[in-house]
């Protein structure tokens, strides 16, 4: 997000949840939907408009892994490295994905298509090893299958 962007886009969300106890997480979710991540400027704006401190807003936002503080690619890959996934080969999948995309975990490809995040658990242990790409889950992965999935997504972009 560029400095000086229009933070008033948050006003309808803030108005809807004004005075609703426990709504900060929902406000943060809507903010991330609007911007693709939680920009520092938005955190400060939310704090100002809700009468709290930026530290409190950041405390809530950093507690939950669903929130991002940097822009991500069009396809956000979350590769599980929880116990079941780790035991079933997630490290090899991570290595294959990193090598194939030319990025490290936490990185975004130069074309802005893919961001890779290694996460502690996706809650899909019966599908291990598993990764999600945006809202889609892919289980029983191998390194080759993970690369094949990413190549399919890239091919869709070329066709578009």
CA–CA gap between residue 103 and residue 80 (Å, rounded) = 17
Q: Is residue 2 part of a domain?
A: no
Q: Is residue 152 part of a domain?
A: yes
Instruction: Give the chain's radius of gyration (CA, Å).
Output: 18
Mean pLDDT, residues 64-68 taken together? 86
Q: How far is residue 140 CA from its own chain's centroid?
A: 22
Domain holding 40: CATH number? 1.10.10.1590
- What's the confidence (pLDDT) of residue 34? 92
- What's the confidence (pLDDT) of residue 134? 93
- What's the confidence (pLDDT) of residue 1? 42
CA–CA gap between residue 90 and residue 82 (Å, rounded) = 9
Cβ distance 127 to 139 under 8 Å?
yes
Domain membership of residue 40 as a residue range: 7-63
CA–CA gap between residue 19 and residue 3 (Å, rounded) = 29
pTM: 0.73
- What's the confidence (pLDDT) of residue 2? 45
Confidence of residue 64 (pLDDT cuts 50, 70, 90): confident
CA–CA gap between residue 102 and residue 104 (Å, rounded) = 7
Average pLDDT value for the chain: 93
Contact partners, residue 147, CB within 8 Å, separation at least 6:
96, 97, 100
- Strands 75-80, 114-119: pairing kind: parallel
If asked whether residues 93 and 56 sit together in one domain, one would say no
- What's the confidence (pLDDT) of residue 4? 53
Q: Is a pLDDT exceeding 70 seen at residue 3?
A: no
Q: Is residue 103 part of a domain?
A: yes
Domain holding 115: CATH number? 3.40.30.10
Q: Is residue 1 part of a domain?
A: no
Residue among 135, 83, 94 at smallest CA distance from 117: 94
Confidence of residue 158 (pLDDT cuts 50, 70, 90): confident
pLDDT in tens, 7-40: 999 999 999 999 899 999 999 999 999 998 999 9
Contact partners, residue 116, CB within 8 Å, separation at least 6:
77, 79, 94, 97, 98, 101, 103, 104, 105, 106, 107
If asked whether residues 109 and 80 sit together in one domain, one would say yes
Residue 65's CB: how many other CB atoms inside 10 A?
11
- What's the confidence (pLDDT) of residue 5? 73
CA–CA gap between residue 21 and residue 33 (Å, rounded) = 21
Rounded (5°) CA angle 69-70-75: 120
Q: Is residue 29 part of a domain?
A: yes
pLDDT in tens, 69-106: 988 999 999 999 999 999 999 999 999 999 999 999 99
Q: Is residue 87 part of a domain?
A: yes
If asked whether residues 83 and 24 sit together in one domain, one would say no
């Amino acid at each position: 997000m560029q400095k000086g962007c229009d933070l008033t886009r948050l006003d309808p969300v803030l108005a809807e949840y004004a005075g609703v106890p426990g709504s900060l997480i929902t406000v943060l979710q809507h903010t991330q939907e609007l911007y693709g991540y939680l920009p520092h400027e938005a955190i400060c704006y939310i704090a100002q408009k809700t009468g709290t401190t930026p530290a409190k807003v950041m405390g809530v936002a950093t507690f939950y892994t669903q929130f991002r503080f940097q822009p991500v690619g069009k396809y956000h890959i979350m590769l599980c490295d929880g116990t079941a996934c780790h035991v079933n080969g997630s490290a090899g999948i991570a290595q294959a994905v990193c090598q194939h995309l030319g990025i490290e975990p936490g990185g975004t490809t130069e074309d802005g298509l893919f961001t890779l995040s290694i996460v502690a658990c996706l809650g899909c242990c019966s599908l291990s090893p598993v990764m999600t790409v945006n809202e889609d889950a892919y289980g029983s992965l191998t390194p080759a299958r993970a690369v094949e999935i990413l190549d399919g997504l890239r091919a869709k972009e070329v066709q578009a």
